[in-house]
Amino acid sequence: MSKRTSLFRRHQEAGAKIVDFAGWEMPITYTSIVPEHTAVRERAGLFDVSHMGQITVEGKESLPFLQKICTNDISLCKQGHGIYSHLCNENGGVIDDIFVYFVGSDQYLVVVNAATIEKDWNWFLKNKSDGLLLNNKSDSLSMVALQGPLSEKVLSKLFQTLPSRHQVSSCAFEGESLLICRTGYTGEDGFEMIVPNPAAEKLWDQILSAGKEWNVVPCGLGARDTLRLEAGYLLYGQDVDDAHTSIESGPQWVIKFNKDNFIGKESLLQQKQGNLKRKLMAFKCLERGIPRHGATILMDGNPAGIVTSGSFSPILRCGIALGYVPPNSEGKFAIECSGKSVAATITKLPFYKKGE
C-alpha cells in the first residue's frame, strides 16, 4: 500500500489529482500543470515534498564520513549552509543525488530522494565508522517548498529572519523546531522547510494564508517536474541512476577530484581522462512536438540515444528534452514525438534562467 504524507488530507480537501509516486500517494495537479508552473515563475507556489527522506549525520566522524561517500567537497560547506552532491558506487554510478546541510557543530542533515531512502540508508550504514551517529528521520519529518520570486515576501509575514541563498536557519514553530533552507528544485528563489509531522498542516495553512494576497497556490508534482526540467535539474531514476556515472550525467562541478579519496573516484577519473562513451545532453525542439521519456533521439536519421526527460516548456513554448548520446556528437538531430520525427538541436543548460 502506498504511503501518505501528513498533508494528504489537505490535498484531498483542495481537490488535487492523486497519483502514486515512488510509493507515495502524491498530488500531481490541483488545477493543471501550466497555471501551476506559471504561478511559480511569476509569483510563488507551495509544494508538499514530504516524500523526500531526511538522514542526520552527527559526531566527530561526520565530516570524514561525508567526504568519503560524497563526490563534492563537503568541507567547503560552512555551518549554516547547504551543498549539492552525488553519492557514487565504486564504478562511479550514482546511488543518489542529495543535498547536505551543515546545521550545527559536527551535525549534518542529508536530504535524499523518496525512491532511494532505504538504499541510501543501507549505504550509509555500510560505510559508517565508529563514533558516528546516524538517524533516519524520514518517517517523522514533513517537508514543504515555497518557490517563486515572491517567496521571501510571503514568508517574511511569518518569520522575522530568513536565510540567504543556499543557507539554512532554524526557529520555533508551533512548539516544534523548524528548519528553513533557502534551496529548491525549480530554478526560482525559494525555501524548503522541514518540520516534525504534527506541525505540517499548520505550516501549510499559514503559508497559503500569508500568500493569499499574491494568489500563491498549492502546486503538484507535475509542475515540479516541468519547472525542474526547464531549470536543467536532473530527476533521479530517469536522468541519472546507478548505471550512469557523475561524469556521464554531469554537472561536473559536483565532483571534486582534488579532495582525498572518495568512493567512485578512480572510475570517474578514468572517464574524465577519455574513457567516456555517452554524455547527457540537452535538446530543444525546432518544430512542434513534445518529447517524452523513452523516445528515440536520432542523429542524421539513425538512432543515437533515448530521451530520459522530456516535456513541453510553458515558458519557452517548445519541446525540451534530456538524453544520453555519444560525446562530441555532430549532425542533424531529431526526436521521435508521437510517431513523428521532430527536428531538434543541442543546447546548453539550463533551458530557462531567470532574467534571460
Residue 250 pLDDT exceeds 90: no
Domains 54-136 and 277-347 share a fold: no
pLDDT value for 293: 98
pLDDT value for 1: 79
Residue 159 neighbours by CB distance under 10 Å: 16
Q: Are 352 and 312 in contact (CB under 8 A)?
A: no
CATH of domain 277-347: 2.40.30.110
pLDDT value for 275: 76
CATH T-level topology, domain 54-136: Alpha-Beta Plaits (3.30.70)
What would the mean pLDDT of 16-31 be, rounded to a whole number?
A: 97
Q: For residue 209, what are the contacts with CB-CB under 8 A and spacing of at least 6? A: none
pLDDT value for 323: 98
For 89-121, write each residue's pLDDT tens digit.
Answer: 999 999 999 999 999 999 999 999 999 999 999
What would the mean pLDDT of 124-133 be, rounded to a whole number?
A: 96
Confidence of residue 274 (pLDDT cuts 50, 70, 90): confident
Radius of gyration (C-alpha) of the chain in whole angstroms: 20
pLDDT value for 248: 97
What would the mean pLDDT of 176-194 be, rounded to a whole number?
A: 98
Q: How far apart are the C-alpha atoms of 201 and 193, rounded to whole Å?
A: 13
Cell (9 digits) for 103: 546545521
Delimit the domains of the chain by residue range. Answer: 8-52+139-230, 54-136, 277-347
For 310-331, write each residue's pLDDT tens digit.
Answer: 999 999 999 999 999 999 888 9
pLDDT value for 194: 98
Question: Which pTM does this prediction carry?
Answer: 0.96
Q: Is CATH 3.30.1360.120 what the domain over 8-52+139-230 is classified as, yes or no?
A: yes
Q: Are 347 and 282 in contact (CB under 8 A)?
A: yes
Q: In what order do the strands lie in the sheet with 217-218?
A: 168-173, 176-181, 190-196, 141-147, 45-48, 217-218
pLDDT value for 356: 63
Helical segments of 141-277, H only = 151-155, 200-210, 221-230, 246-249, 265-272
Closest CA to 186 of 137, 139, 136, 221: 221
Listing DSSP states for 321-351 in one string gives EEEEE-TT--S-EEEEETTEEEEEEEEPSPS
Collapsing DSSP to helix, strand or coil, 2 comes out as: coil
Mean pLDDT over all residues of the chain?
Answer: 97
Q: For residue 187, what are the contacts with CB-CB under 8 A and spacing of at least 6? A: 227, 228, 230, 231, 232, 233, 350, 352, 353, 354
Residue 355 pLDDT exceeds 70: no
